[in-house]
Structure 1
Amino acid sequence: MLHIAIVGSGPAGFYTAEAAQKQWGDDVTIDIFDMLPVPYGLIRTGVAPDHQSIKGVARRFEATACCENCRFTGNVAIGRDVSIAELQSLYDAVVMATGAPNDKVLDIPGADLNNVFGSAAFVGWYNGHPKFAELAPDFTGDTAVVIGMGNVALDVARILAKTTDELTGSDIVAHAFDALKQSRIRRIVILGRRGPHQIMMTPKELGELARLERASPRVDLRDLPPEGDDAMLEPGLRKSVTHLRSFAAIPESHHADMAVEIDFDFFASPRAILGDGKVEAVEVERTEVKAGRAVGTGETYKAPCSLVISCIGYQSSPIAGLPFDERAGRFASDEGRILPGLYCVGWARRGPSGTIGTNRPDSFHVVERMAEDLRPSGKRGRAGFDELAASRGLDLVTFDDWKQIEKAEEDRARDGAPREKFVDVDEMIKARG
Structure 2
Amino acid sequence: MRPHSLWSGLKVWNPGKSTWLNRATNAGVQRQAGVHLSSPSPGPQVCIVGSGPAGFYTAQHLIKARPDVQVDIYERLPVPFGLVRFGVAPDHPEVKNVINTFTQTASQSRCGFYGNVNVGKDVSMDELQQAYHAVVLSYGAEGNRTMGIPGEHLDGVYSAKDFVGWYNGLPSCRQLNPDLSCDTAVILGQGNVALDVARILLAPVPLLKKTDITAPALEALAKSQVRRVLIVGRRGPLQVACTIKEIREMVNLPGTKPEMVAADFEGIADALTAVARPRKRLTELILKTALEAPGEKEQERRRAALRSWGFRFYRSPLEVTADPSGTRVGALTLAVNRLEGSAEAARAVLTGEQEVVPCGLVISSIGYKSLPMDPKLPFDPSRAVVPNSMGRVTEAPGLYVSGWLKTGPTGVIATTMNSSFDTARSLLEDMGSGALDLSAHKAGSHSITSLLENRGIKAVTFSDWEKIDLQEISRGAAVGKPREKVLRVEEMLELAHT
Alignment-mate amino acid for residue 353 of structure 1 = T
Asked whether the 8 Å contact 1:197–1:241 carries over to 2, the reply is: yes
Aligned-residue offset at 1:255 = 4.0
Secondary structure of the structure 2 residue equivalent to 1:365: helix
Pair 1:427-2:484 in alignment = no
Per-residue CA shift, 1:282-304, capped at 9, x if unaligned? 00011011121111100001000
Larger radius of gyration: 2
C-alpha separation in 1, matches of 2:441 and 2:276: 50
**Aligned equivalent of 2:370:** 316
Per-residue CA shift, 1:147-170, capped at 9, x if unaligned? 001101000000000011111221
Q: Compute the TM-score of the two structures, normalised by the length of structure 1.
A: 0.97
Per-residue CA shift, 1:218-241, capped at 9, x if unaligned? 333322234232132223222221
Asked whether the 8 Å contact 2:237–2:268 carries over to 1, the reply is: no
Are residues 258 and 250 of structure 1, via their aligned partners in 2, closer, same or farther at CA, if it must alter by over 3 Å? farther
- Structure 1 residues 296-311: aligned runs within 5 Å: 296-311=350-365
**Aligned equivalent of 2:44:** 2
Pair 1:263-2:318 in alignment = no
**Aligned equivalent of 1:410:** 473
C-alpha separation in 1, matches of 2:178 and 2:362: 10
Secondary structure of the structure 2 residue equivalent to 1:294: strand
**Aligned equivalent of 1:395:** 458
Are residues 52 and 136 of structure 1, via their aligned partners in 2, closer, same or farther at CA, if it must alter by over 3 Å? same
Structure 1 residues without counterparts, runs of 5 or longer: none
Deviation beyond 3 Å, 4+ runs, structure 1: 250-256
Asked whether the 8 Å contact 1:119–1:310 carries over to 2, the reply is: yes
Secondary structure of the structure 2 residue equivalent to 1:429: helix
Alignment-mate amino acid for residue 257 of structure 1 = A
Moved more, 101-110 or 62-71: 101-110
C-alpha separation in 2, matches of 1:323 and 1:142: 46
**Aligned equivalent of 2:3:** none
Pair 1:231-2:286 in alignment = no
Aligned-residue offset at 1:256 = 4.0
Aligned-residue offset at 1:326 = 1.4
Asked whether the 8 Å contact 1:314–1:329 carries over to 2, the reply is: no
- Structure 1 residues 1-400: aligned runs within 5 Å: 1-25=43-67, 27-224=68-265, 225-248=267-290, 249=292, 251=294, 255-275=302-322, 276-291=326-341, 292-319=346-373, 320-338=375-393, 339-373=396-430, 374-376=436-438, 377-400=440-463
Alignment-mate amino acid for residue 13 of structure 1 = G
Moved more, 264-273 or 413-422: 413-422
Aligned-residue offset at 1:253 = 6.9
C-alpha separation in 1, matches of 2:277 and 2:129: 45
Moved more, 293-302 or 386-395: 386-395
Secondary structure of the structure 2 residue equivalent to 1:49: coil
C-alpha separation in 2, matches of 1:14 and 1:120: 22
Are residues 160 and 172 of structure 1, via their aligned partners in 2, closer, same or farther at CA, if it must alter by over 3 Å? same
Secondary structure of the structure 2 residue equivalent to 1:324: coil
Per-residue CA shift, 1:177-226, capped at 9, x if unaligned? 00000000011011110000011110111110122111122333322234
C-alpha separation in 2, matches of 1:261 and 1:429: 42
Aligned-residue offset at 1:415 = 2.9
Q: Compute the TM-score of the two structures, normalised by the length of structure 2.
A: 0.85
Moved more, 97-106 or 233-242: 233-242
Asked whether the 8 Å contact 2:184–2:359 carries over to 1, the reply is: yes
Moved more, 389-398 or 11-20: 389-398
Secondary structure of the structure 1 residue equivalent to 2:154: coil
Alignment-mate amino acid for residue 270 of structure 1 = P
C-alpha separation in 2, matches of 1:84 and 1:237: 43
Structure 2 residues without counterparts, runs of 5 or longer: 1-42, 431-435
C-alpha separation in 2, matches of 1:82 and 1:171: 33
Asked whether the 8 Å contact 1:255–1:261 carries over to 2, the reply is: no
User: Number of matched residues?
Assistant: 432
C-alpha separation in 1, matches of 2:423 and 2:416: 10
Aligned-residue offset at 1:328 = 1.5
Per-residue CA shift, 1:399-427, capped at 9, x if unaligned? 00111100000111153311000110011
